[in-house]
Amino acid sequence: MAKRYGAIEAGGTKFVCAVSDGNLNVLKRVKIPTTVPAETMSEVFKFFEENPCDAIGIGSFGPIDVNRNSDTYGYITTTPKEGWANYDFLGEMKKRFDVPYAWTTDVNVAAYGELKRGAAKGLDSCVYLTVGTGVGGGGVVNGKLLEGFGHPEMGHMIMRRHPDDKYEGHCPYHKDCLEGLTAGPAVEARHHGVKAYEIPKDDHDWEIEAYYLAQACMDLTVVLSPEMIIFGGGVSKQEQLFPMMRESFKKQMNGYLKTPDLDKYIVHCALGDDAGITGCLLLAQEEDEKASK
């Protein structure tokens, strides 16, 4: 029988489910609105009932429990998204489909997709930061997903404030963390509700945004020393940010550490919206191969 692999990229706004052939060519893909588990998951279950798979890779919004020794392994945990807190995502899938699973964060699967088939192809490590409605980060180090007791929450690194920035930050937990200062809602709040894509590209607020994103790159560089830092998400589509980020990174690092050429170190994602699904399918294939040994 020809192999089939499944992917679930579970986002806070929408789920993307896909099935591929054994070479990871996508055969079918659907988008499902993220409402409440009873509604969203019934559509997910229906998709995989109609498209049976040999293994499934799941990358979910979080926080989630990735600790295999935990009683709540496979759960979405403390999310503020209504109905999803303490939801046994992996357990509900396993009840219905007896196949091997990969289970990690949505940003980890995107990092893995970019490492294997995207901007970081041929490298052993990368960090992926998505800057959109929220900010999240995933990483791959020595070819392995970055996980420990839990998973990274890179969007909640506390930032040193830009001297021109009077905005207090919108994160309900930390105010002026990376997410609180750089996510779409923060960009728009600084501009009194103007949508990010309507803000002029030469506006000073983009320099403030670039300063914080560069600071995050510096923090990640001194902690993880990745071979590449990749940006995705809606805010990252503002191309003028990249030269500003690289220049700000250079100033903030102040010659302390050597890095790859900044044009090849701080980059936009190559796979676009396919990064997460690609990572899920790659991880599903690996789980299937492990189970077959």
Token output for 55: 């293994």
Domain boundary among 105, 139, 172: 105
- Predicted structure pTM score: 0.96
With cut-offs at 50, 70 and 90, classify the pLDDT of residue 218.
very high
Question: So what's the pLDDT on residue 293?
Answer: 86
Total domains, the chain: 2
With cut-offs at 50, 70 and 90, classify the pLDDT of residue 74.
very high
Give the position of tokens 């190559």: 270
With cut-offs at 50, 70 and 90, classify the pLDDT of residue 118.
very high
Do residue 265 and residue 126 come from a single domain?
Answer: yes
Q: Are 51 and 39 in contact (CB under 8 A)?
A: no
Do residue 138 and residue 234 come from a single domain?
Answer: yes
Q: Which helix (H) or strand (E) holds 260?
A: none
The 3-state DSSP class for residue 58 equals strand
Do residue 141 and residue 238 come from a single domain?
Answer: yes
Q: Which helix (H) or strand (E) holds 17?
A: strand 14-21
Containing domain of residue 207, as a range?
119-270
